[in-house]
Structures are given as structure tokens and as C-alpha cells.
Amino acid sequence: MAKHKLQRFAETATFSNFIQPPPYHYSEDYPLKGKWSKEFFKNDHPLILELGCGKGEYTVGLARIHPENNYLGMDIKGARMWRGAKTALDENISNAGFLRTHIGQIEQFFEKDEISGIWITFPDPQPQKPRTNKRLTSQRFLKRYEKILNPDALIHLKTDNAAFFDYTLEVISENGHKRHFHTHDLYDSGLENELTQIQTHYESMFLAEGKKICYLNFSLKQ
């Protein structure tokens, strides 16, 4: 397994749609900050992030459906991201890219108002109470997103963890953010769009086990 991961790491280093900054960039702004669409994607389209993208199912899936947008998957686990990056290259999906870095460093990679939306798909719910600040929908992280999102941007969340979902609803309410839509059972909500057409690896497993999928979208108080 270790050898397999090393092979994938080596291969991603040759991918034109995969960026892995050296560690020194973690203490300074990355050169593409504020210039991702123009210099990385070579266009002026809106830029949307998938945080904790894993294998990049949503990054690639949304890029297929919406060529008018650019999609960038972020995660620290490069061996998983290899799959999405390779699929995008194999299918010539030029509006999908991948960035291997810690999400906690997000402000160093993106400028104010540079991001037009965020997708958070099946994140680690961090169930231990002392770790709530590590949850990607904690107010600690929402404050980081606020610094890079444009005023009209939506944040999307999909999860199988009802407790984490309810926690997120509480964070939104307590901090004055605006909830637009939510459901505790996406596949019984009547929605038929990319929310149900695109499924992550974990989502397919959860559905096979009979678990309900929760979904919400919201915007941040500006």
C-alpha cells in the first residue's frame, strides 16, 4: 500500500492540474492567490472550491456539468486526490484542478471575494467535543471562508452524520448566517440535479447501507 501511494505521489507531480506547494508556502501567501482563474485555469470564470475533496468526485462531476465555472478540489491526502486529477486529465476536463494543502491555510491561497462557492462533501464529523473547532463548518472555519467568499456565494454541505448536520444548523443560527435550504433526507426530497447525480465514494457506501444523506446550503453574514 505504501509503495502504491508513493507511485501516485510521483505521478501527481507530473499532472498539469495538480498543485502541491512546498512547505515554505505555508507561512506566506501563495503566488496564485487572487489569480487562480486567470493564471491556472486561463479564463475569467467563477472559482468554486471542494474542501476535503478526497477522490474529487464533486470537483470533477461539477466541472463536467458546469463548464462555465472553474472547480478546485482541496485536501491534504494526495494519494486520494490522484484519482480525480487523473480522471480530469483523461477526459480533458480543463476546468477541474486540485490543490494539496491543509484547509486551515486557505486564506494564504485565495484573495478576498475570489471564491464563488464552497462544497463540503462528507467531511470528518470530528465527534469528540474538544475537536469541534476542527469541524469544517465550525465558526472558526466559517470566519476563514468569509475572508475569501464573494457576497453571493453559497456553501453546500452533504453528510450522512445527523449529529454533525444538526451542529452545523446550530452554528448557522447562532452566528446570524442565512440558511437557504436543508433536508435530513436528500434522496426523499424530490431534488434531481447534481446533488443526487454526483455521488462520492463514501456516499455510495452509505446509501448501500441504507443511511440517509443530509444536505444544506447557506450563505455567510457579511
With residues binned 3-state (H G I as helix, E B as strand, rest as coil), the percentages for the chain, rounded to 5, are 40, 20, 35
Asked whether the beta carbons of 87 and 12 are under 8 A apart, the reply is no
**Which strands make up the sheet holding 115-121, listed edge to edge?**
18-19, 96-100, 70-75, 47-51, 115-121, 149-159, 214-219, 178-183
* Residue 166 known to be catalytic: no
CA–CA distance, 211 with 149 (Å, rounded to integer):
32
Asked whether the beta carbons of 214 and 160 are under 8 A apart, the reply is yes
Which single residue is written with the C-alpha cell 500500500?
1
Given 44, 75, 113, 124, the catalytic residue = 124
Burial of 192 (0-12, 13-18, 19+ CB in 10 A): exposed
Residues with active-site annotation? 124
